[in-house]
Structure 1
Amino acid sequence: MSEIVRAPEGTIVIFVLGGPGSGKGTQCNKIVEDFGFVHLSAGDLLREEQRNPNSKDGDLINSYIKDGQIVPMEITVKLLSKKMRESKSNVFLIDGFPRKLDQAEYFGKNVVEPCLILFLDCDKEVMKQRLLKRGETSGRIDDNIETIEKRFKVFKEESLPVVEHYEKEEKVRKIPCNESVDEVYLKIRPIIEGLNK
């Protein structure tokens, strides 16, 4: 796998953070449709790498995901950096990353600092129901009640401090997202529009 490369000057990155099932991927798809961002899902990239028979990291990724744990950041940042270079774009939505404070610092130092963090704030019970519903058809090894509970615990202990870190830098926009997809997007859209002003 190619190494981590710093993003060119003028690259715009928005981190989309939120608990498992808060709607990150769904909202990113709507932003991509309206604003032309390239959407990179850390989870999707890891699952893709996990299925790649030539990957030297596949088995390692598999064991972390299956256990609801966070994959070592060097692997995730390498995958994100590679996709950013391949895309030839300079505007990115990265969802499900960073999941720990050291990942945030590592990405900022080695790739680029984010200009904005969208934090999708959702009740645990709502997220659980969404994930169980998705699990009926997703085929994902982490959409089961045992792993979901582990993921909630990891999110609370390790990912919420990332949001708090960026709040100190006044980069976080908190979006309540228990409502429908369209209602949540109505709150997000003006924030993205405001970036160009």
Structure 2
Amino acid sequence: MYTLRFLATGARRFIRAMSAATMNRKPEVMFILGSPGAGKGTLCRYIVEHYGYVHLSAGDLLREERVKPGSQYGEFIETHIRNGTIVPVEITCSLIDRAMQTSENPHNRFLIDGFPRNQDNLDGWNKVMADKVLLKGVIFCECSEEVCTQRCLHRGASGSGRSDDNEQSLILRHQTYLKNTLPIIKMYEQQGLVYKVNSMNTPEEVFQDVVAFFPKLGW
């Protein structure tokens, strides 16, 4: 009986120690990048469903803040989204940081979708967040402009509620992606941090490509 109580006490101590270690370790982050409509959000949903990690969409966080009653940034964010331009990094980083701090996910691992989108985003992230997290890598969803555009238009026609799912905004968004985001992906690729997937495949096929390289990351 004494031995059983001793083992039970030791197990509880081990669990508490493991929980404390999880809470104290830095969040692990994977960036998910690609052009508008490349399937970043869909891929994140698959990873969350099978691995239990937290999906943080920079765009969704901004859209939620845009419609939040009393938000001082709401109208400002809406103007940038409608024009296909990029919201200042200070706002985006603060929303991402807040979402990670308030998360109760036991894995402490996050998929950050659609960020960083330009050099200013990257500089702001490195200044504010780089020392707070462990960046594991970048999943690059490769997809043609034509396929991406059709996906976004279909999403808009299906009632996405997104003011930027229209042809005019999509032209601006793709130009912004080519000019600002693609160089960031290439920079990470030179550092050996990019994992490419062909996101013109079915969501299931794209997810299986990710499953193949996740063990290399310790995920």
TM-score range, shorter chain: over 0.9
Q: Distance in 2 between matches of 1:101 and 1:171?
A: 17
Q: Which residue of 2 aligns with 1:29?
A: 45
Q: Which residue of 1 aligns with 2:155?
A: 134
Which residue type is aligned with residue 124 of structure 1? E
1:21 deviates by: 0.3
Which residue type is aligned with residue 12 of structure 1? E
Contact 2:82-2:169 within 8 A present in 1 as well? yes
Contact 2:40-2:113 within 8 A present in 1 as well? yes
Contact 1:108-1:114 within 8 A present in 2 as well? no
Q: Which residue of 2 aligns with 1:114?
A: 135
Which residue type is aligned with residue 86 of structure 1? T
Q: Distance in 1 between matches of 2:50 and 2:93?
A: 26
Report whether the alignment pairs 1:182 with 2:166.
no
- Which moves more between the two structures, 187-196 or 86-95? 187-196
1:193 deviates by: 3.1
| Structure 1 unaligned spans of 5+ | 1-6
Report whether the alignment pairs 1:87 with 2:109.
no
Contact 2:136-2:217 within 8 A present in 1 as well? no
1:167 deviates by: 1.1
Q: Distance in 2 between matches of 1:60 and 1:101?
A: 21
Any idea what SS the aligned residue of 1:114 has?
Answer: strand
Question: 5 Å matches for 1:49-60?
Answer: 49-60=65-76
Any idea what SS the aligned residue of 2:162 has?
Answer: coil
Q: Distance in 1 between matches of 2:115 and 2:172?
A: 17
Could you tell me the percent identity over the aligned residues?
Answer: 41
Scaled by the length of structure 2, the TM-score of the pair is 0.83
Q: Deviations over 1:119-175 (max 9, x none)?
A: 001011110111111011212100000000100000000000110111121100111
Q: Deviations over 1:30-67 (max 9, x none)?
A: 00111111100000000000001210000100100010
Give 1 or 2: higher helix fraction: 2
1:102 deviates by: 2.5
How many matched pairs? 191
Scaled by the length of structure 1, the TM-score of the pair is 0.92
Give 4+ residue runs of structure 1 displaced > 3 Å after superposition. 7-10
Q: Distance in 1 between matches of 2:156 and 2:136?
A: 33
| Structure 2 unaligned spans of 5+ | 1-22
Q: Which residue of 2 aligns with 1:125?
A: 146
Q: Distance in 2 between matches of 1:81 and 1:39?
A: 13
Q: Which residue of 1 aligns with 2:9?
A: none
Report whether the alignment pairs 1:63 with 2:84.
no
Higher Cα Rg: structure 1 or 2?
2
1:106 deviates by: 2.0
Report whether the alignment pairs 1:155 with 2:177.
yes
Q: Distance in 1 between matches of 2:215 and 2:67?
A: 37
1:85 deviates by: 0.0
Q: Distance in 1 between matches of 2:116 and 2:84?
A: 15
